[in-house]
């Protein structure tokens, strides 16, 4: 009975909340489950079908649909903790893909409950591939202190998404750039000035935990192939694409609601992915990713766009923060040291100077 009641708690959480992605399953189903009492461990084929459909949606990167299907599938596995843990792991990956951060946190709590009470995760038959993918996401989404308090996930702390080589931010400045050649509030000639680090700080009070930004319906930045990059490098931007970049730049020029920052990222990203050789598009997408605390995406786009140059101290700072949050402390140190001579000091900047340089 204790086991059944414990699983009912997980089921109640899986019912969802009105207005949230994943849909509200509703009280009637939960009442039916409560009235039925402990049943056999056999899983209804209906829920197994939902699990398969959810995995197919996940494979297609249709994360919103996958989350809805997998949430329902998990609800049908409350009688058996091990399959439930497997289903919850897949649900969390779908929610991460959809950037439903609140959903990721809730599902992680459910997974912890199943593990604490039944060892459903540590002793479950979860494939190594699924376990590795889940733990890589948890390392980015869940604060280290929280992971450290859960024995089954303690080793996850060292699995943050690999960052680009430290040589990137430490590379020589772009041709024509001279250290100290531009004031902190202005960028290269002919380009609008980037937002100051204070105005452009991510939508989070504690940026170190990459769990602070609101839901962002994006997937990780795809890595272009060499053929794609070389083909797109010479292809000029269309008027429509330049309009997208201008709109993204305007949205990123000052503090904005998270919805508008997500819009800016998507606009810049769509152009950057179509033109891997466009430094302007790559850096604007990197700045957009930084503003919504998408550290891995930010470092990816900075890597594609190349070194910002000492004439862009704000973007060097964005690069330093993104590298630091992605786990590349040496790269972050190199980038921040180059940014400091021309960087406007704000409390936010000072906080990262202390974190990265220990000053």
> Which residue ranges make up each domain of the chain?
2-158, 175-357
User: Of the CATH numbers 3.50.50.60, 1.10.1740.10, 1.25.40.10, 3.40.50.360, which one belongs to the domain with range 175-357?
Assistant: 1.25.40.10
Work out the pLDDT band at 187, boundaries 50, 70, 90: very low
Element (H, E) at 74: helix 63-75
Query: What does the pLDDT look like over 73-103, one tens digit per residue?
Result: 999 999 899 999 999 999 999 999 999 988 9
Cα(307)–Cα(173) distance, rounded to whole angstroms? 7
Q: Give ∠ CA 207-210-214 in degrees, rounded to 5.
A: 95
Query: If you count them, how many residues does the chain have?
Result: 359
Q: Is the pLDDT confidence value at 283 over 90?
A: yes
Using only C-alpha atoms, the chain has a radius of gyration, in whole angstroms, of 23
Give me the helix-helix angle, 295-305 and 279-291, nearest 10°: 160
Query: What does the pLDDT look like over 109-158, one tens digit per residue?
Result: 999 999 989 999 999 888 888 998 999 899 888 887 778 878 888 766 55
């Amino acid at each position: 009975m204790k086991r059944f009641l414990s699983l009912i708690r997980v089921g109640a959480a899986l019912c969802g909340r009105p207005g949230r992605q994943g849909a509200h399953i509703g009280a009637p189903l939960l009442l039916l489950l409560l009235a039925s009492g402990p049943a056999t461990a056999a899983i209804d084929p209906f829920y197994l079908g939902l699990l398969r459909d959810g995995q197919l949606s996940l494979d297609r990167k249709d994360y919103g649909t996958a989350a809805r299907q997998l949430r329902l599938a998990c609800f049908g596995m409350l009688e058996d903790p091990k399959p439930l843990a497997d289903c919850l792991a897949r649900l969390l990956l779908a929610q991460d893909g959809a950037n439903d951060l609140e959903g990721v946190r809730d599902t992680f709590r459910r997974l912890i409950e199943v593990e604490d009470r039944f060892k459903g995760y540590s002793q479950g038959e979860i494939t190594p591939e699924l376990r590795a993918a889940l733990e890589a996401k948890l390392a980015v989404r869940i604060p280290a202190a929280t992971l450290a308090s859960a024995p089954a996930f303690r080793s996850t702390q060292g699995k943050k998404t690999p960052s680009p080589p430290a040589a990137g931010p430490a590379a020589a400045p772009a041709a024509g750039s001279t250290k100290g050649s531009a004031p902190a509030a202005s960028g290269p000639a002919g380009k609008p000035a980037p937002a100051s680090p204070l105005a452009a700080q991510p939508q989070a009070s504690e940026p170190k935990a990459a769990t602070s930004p609101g839901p962002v319906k994006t997937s990780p930045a795809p890595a272009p192939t060499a053929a794609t990059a070389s083909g797109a490098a010479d292809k000029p931007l269309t008027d429509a694409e330049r309009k997208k970049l201008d709109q993204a730049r305007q949205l990123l020029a000052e503090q904005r609601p998270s919805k508008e920052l997500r819009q800016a990222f998507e606009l810049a990203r769509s152009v950057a992915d179509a033109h891997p050789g466009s430094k302007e598009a790559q850096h604007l997408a990197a700045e957009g990713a930084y503003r919504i605390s998408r550290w891995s995406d930010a470092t990816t786009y900075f890597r594609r766009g190349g070194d910002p140059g000492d004439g862009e101290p704000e973007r060097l700072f964005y690069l330093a923060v993104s590298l630091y949050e992605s786990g590349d402390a040496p790269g972050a140190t190199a980038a921040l040291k180059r940014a400091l001579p021309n960087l406007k000091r704000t409390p936010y900047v000072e906080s990262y100077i202390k974190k990265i340089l220990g000053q």
